[in-house]
Amino acid sequence: MITESQATPRTAHAAIGVFGGTFDPIHFGHLRLAETLADSLQLSEVRFVPSGTPPHRAVPRTAAQHRLHMAERAVAGNPRFCVDAREVTRSGLSYTVDTLAALRSEQGDATPIWLLLGADAFAGLTAWHDWQRLFALANLAVAARAGEMPALDTLPASLRDEVSGRLQGAGAAGAVRFCAMTPLAISATAIRAACEHGESVRYLLPDTVLHYINEQKLYTHG
Ligand code: ATP
């Protein structure tokens, strides 16, 4: 686990990925997205950032500490992956723009930072706090979640306008890339529902996460 105070500056060209989510629970869709984009973008590191109090959606039903522990178990053994706990330890709402601003100041202006997103999260970007500033702080990499790239003309006009000039070239921040990934129609919502109904969720998420869910009796009632 990396905390804010332990985070170390990296060399100028070691691109890093930042992947935020509620991770309630983390599953193979998340891990596969991170692995695919780490390869496509040649990232030296992907930081999974579990959200504390997410501003855009209902409060997660699972305590942040549990979601953090599940993420730590899920990334163990992958040398490129780590968990960044800063949104869980920060008080108040979790804004991605604040996380990226903090990382940018730790890493310096030359380090490419890539914010990793599923296509559904990207399509809702204009609802995010200070969303246009995200492009000043990081590049955005969007993975197709259900096997389909979002057609630019289906995006809100303000997002389409923001993105259209950013599809070529990439520096430390400001570029947008759409990347293909093997579609995995796994969702945390469906995993929680299956657990509530006593159905197996094995092979949808790492065994280490499944053991934690069972030990802690997460998602067992309504
Ligand atoms: P929920 O079902 O509770 O909404 P989720 O499974 O969608 O959860 P989140 O934590 O909300 O997971 O998502 C974090 C990020 O992971 C988002 O950018 C989302 O688009 C992406 N993501 C989630 N599931 C998948 C999947 N199966 N394939 C690719 N990307 C995914």
User: What are the backbone angles phi and psi of residue 105, rounded to the nearest 5°?
Assistant: -70, -30
**pTM of whole model > 0.75?**
yes
CA of 33 to the centre of ligand 1 (A): 9
38 DSSP assignment: H
Domain ranges of the chain: 4-216
Is the backbone peptide bond immediately before 25 cis, with ω within 30 degrees of 0?
Answer: yes
Please indicate whether residue 148, judged by its CB atom, sits closer than 6 Å to ligand 1.
Answer: no
Q: Does CATH number 1.20.1440.230 belong to domain 4-216?
A: no
SS3 state of residue 218: coil
Is 145 in contact with 48 (CB distance < 8 Å)?
no
Atom 19 (ligand 1) nearest CA? 118
Please indicate whether residue 204, judged by its CB atom, sits closer than 6 Å to ligand 1.
Answer: no
User: What are the backbone angles phi and psi of residue 18, rounded to the nearest 5°?
Assistant: -125, 125
Atom 17 (ligand 1) nearest CA? 118
- For residues 89 and 70, what is the distance between their CA atoms, to the nearest angstrom? 16
Show the tokens assigned to 90: 């920060």
Please indicate whether residue 189, judged by its CB atom, sits closer than 6 Å to ligand 1.
Answer: yes
Per-residue pLDDT in tens (0 to 9) along the chain, 222 residues: 555 444 444 445 699 999 999 999 999 999 999 999 999 999 999 999 999 875 566 667 789 999 999 999 999 999 999 999 999 988 778 799 999 999 999 999 999 999 999 998 999 999 999 999 999 999 999 997 555 566 777 889 999 999 999 999 889 999 999 998 998 999 999 999 999 999 999 999 999 999 999 999 999 975
Q: For a pocket test of ligand 1, which of 19, 145, 148, 201 has the largest count of ligand atoms closer than 8 A to its C-beta?
A: 145
The alpha carbon of 159 is separated from its chain's Cα centroid by a whole number of angstroms, namely: 19
